Chain A
Amino acid sequence: MIAYGAQTFESEPMGWPKSNVFRPTWLRLMSVSTPTLKEPLTQPEEMTIHLQAVAISQDKTAFAALFSYYGPRLKAYMRSLGANDGTAEELAQEAMLSVWRKAHQFNAEKASAGTWIFTIARNLRIDVLRKERRPEIDPNDPALVPDSDPEPDIQASMEQQRVLLHKAIHELPEDQALVLKKSFFEDKSHAVIASELNIPLGTVKSRLRLAFNRVRSHIGDQL
């Protein structure tokens, strides 16, 4: 059910002309009183709503929905990083427990549910699989230099950005997509990736930069 920018239901229903002048009153009223027909929510969009429900009211039904969607993805992520089946299962559970406990920190204007849960999983595996700390910025740090750039006037919704991002990643040349995936999912240095793919180190770095810059140009400066 991939619906990149699907516009199917956005257009006027039943082929009525665009201008209000030619439309009967009952239709004009209807189009005011009922919300515009839209395509059904995508699964990631639903997940963001579930995550907000967990944050606001500790909704366990919403949490179960998050679990059934993200649990298996978390397990796959941990497997790709070298955890065996049992460890990956435990880590996926731990990550979902963090999702439950930290849900109040989720801000749907800053990240999609998928991105937020990815960062939780990433930090967890550094902690558990690598037994290292991961220093991060503290939003309340007095030394933090605030972002002085004004917010863009017209900001694409998080969902629009997510869709664009997805599309951009799917359109990447295969060799660039491969180094991008390896760098996010395999915890390997660029040197190891280079020797696995039998290409020079510089090529790994340049493919990674090309991939990111290409994707970044699609989502603009709004994220």
Chain B
Amino acid sequence: MTATHQPNLDLLLDYAAGSLDEGLSLFVASHLALCPESRRTVAKAEAVGGALFEDIAPEPMDTDSLDRLLARLDKPAESTADADEKIKPQTSDTNTDVPAPLRHYLNSPLESLSWRRLGPGVQQVDVLPPKNDRRVSLLKIAPGVAVPEHGHHGPERTLILRGSYRDARGEFKRGDVADLDVSVEHQPIAGTEEACICLVVTDAPVKLKGFWGRLLQPFIRY
């Protein structure tokens, strides 16, 4: 099973270049774990970066630079090399279906995260603390439930982790990405087989429509 909906090429290129912030990097890395095709695209973009890097006009280094470095080679790695250890999952035996990049940010199994109810059948939990208008969160939609129709003040990117949903653009399954810009309004409906859990990154509050939407808008930022 492979993803059929990939993110916009810009997002993959920016990931390869290193210009995405932590939230979007987390989003792309989680998608990459589930999508070999996007992995190949990123590998090519990195090769482009490598070629540009080979071509860069060199800047001379200090004369004693190499000697200073050679003196450090045999010393054991300090904390820097262990930096990865700090973000090792505390839940290594659980959430095995959650891609590793995201798993490292969760401190308990998906089921027991502190989900917050957003509306009928819709729950949310933040993955990173909200910063400015950037929000990185998990959304859980109960089987068969329709999320209120909404538009966006800014881009909204959704990665399906479990279950599926359908909107006017088709069916989205595990690994798929819906990369929506400001102009798009949609009303996703979760598949009936199980709850749909997705990773959602937004840059601005959503615009809710309809009765439920107007009712919920004052309370919701997702």
Contact = CB atoms under 8 A, between A and B. Distances in A.
Contact of B97 (A88, A143, A188): A143
Contacts of A96: 69
A97 interface: yes
B141 interface: no
Interface string B1-32: 11100000110011001110110011001101
A135 interface: yes
Given A143-B99, A145-B35, A112 B47 contact: yes
B168 interface: no
Interface in A116-133: 116-119, 121-123, 125-127, 132-133
Contacts, number: 201
B22 to A, nearest CB: 5
Nearest to B28: A135
B49 A147 contact: no
Q: Which of A44, A96, A181 has the most CB of B within 10 A?
A: A96
A115 B50 contact: yes
B25 A122 contact: no
Interface string B126-137: 000000000000
B48 interface: yes
Interface in A137-154: 137-138, 141-149
A184 B49 CA distance: 6
A171 B36 CA distance: 29
B197 to A, nearest CB: 13
A180 B48 CA distance: 9
Contacts of A147: 36, 39-40
A44 B55 CA distance: 11
Q: Which of B52, B70, B104 has the most CB of A within 10 A?
A: B52
A144 B17 contact: no
Nearest to A64: B66
A223 B10 contact: no
Nearest to B69: A93
Contacts of A88: 59
Interface string B73-113: 10001001101000100000000111111111000000000
Interface string A29-59: 0000000000000001000000000000000
Given A77-B53, A111-B47, A183 B59 contact: no
A189 B101 CA distance: 23
Q: Which of A92, A94, A134 has the most CB of B within 10 A?
A: A134
A208 B66 contact: no
B49 A115 contact: yes
B168 to A, nearest CB: 23
Contact of A145 (B36, B44, B52): B36
A32 to B, nearest CB: 36
Contacts of B49: 115, 118-119, 122, 184
A189 B44 contact: no
Contact of A169 (B46, B51, B87): B51
A190 interface: yes
A145 B50 contact: no
A112 B68 CA distance: 27
A183 B13 contact: yes
B193 interface: no
B47 A149 contact: no
A18 to B, nearest CB: 35
Contact of B9 (A143, A145, A169, A209): A209
Closest A-B pairs by Cβ, 6 of them: A115-B50, A72-B58, A135-B101, A141-B100, A147-B36, A122-B18
28 contacts: A64-B70, A73-B53, A73-B54, A73-B56, A75-B59, A89-B61, A97-B73, A117-B50, A118-B46, A132-B22, A133-B22, A135-B25, A135-B29, A135-B30, A135-B101, A135-B102, A136-B29, A138-B33, A141-B99, A143-B98, A143-B100, A144-B99, A145-B2, A147-B39, A148-B36, A149-B36, A161-B47, A183-B14
